[in-house]
Amino acid sequence: MATADHHQVLEQLAALLEERKGADAGSSYVASLYKKGRAKIAQKVGEEGVEVALAAVGDDRDELINEMADLWFHSLVLLADANLTPADVLAELERRFGLSGLEEKARRAQD
pLDDT at 103: 79
Q: Which long-range contacts (CB under 8 A, 24 or more apart) does 76-82 make?
A: 76/10, 76/13, 76/14, 76/17, 77/17, 77/30, 77/33, 77/34, 77/41, 77/44, 78/38, 78/41, 78/42, 78/45, 79/14, 80/14, 80/17, 80/18, 80/21, 81/21, 81/34, 81/38, 81/41, 82/38
| Per-residue model confidence as pLDDT tens digits over 73-108 | 999 999 999 999 999 999 999 988 888 888 777 887
Domains: count for the chain? 1
Tell me the mean pLDDT in the region 27-48.
97
In a domain, 90, yes or no: yes
Is the pLDDT score of 4 beyond 60?
no
In a domain, 7, yes or no: no
Report the CATH number that the domain containing residue 103 is assigned in CATH.
1.10.287.1080
Q: Half-sphere exposure of residue 45, counting CA atoms within 13 Å on the CB side?
A: 15
In a domain, 1, yes or no: no
Query: Domain containing 92: what range?
Result: 22-107
Q: Worst-scoring range by mean pLDDT, 37-51, 63-77, 81-95?
A: 81-95
In a domain, 34, yes or no: yes
Is the pLDDT score of 44 beyond 90?
yes
Q: What's the full length of the chain, in residues?
A: 111
CB atoms within 10 A of CB 71: 21
- Tell me, rounded to whole angstroms, the distance of Cα 14 from its chain centroid: 10
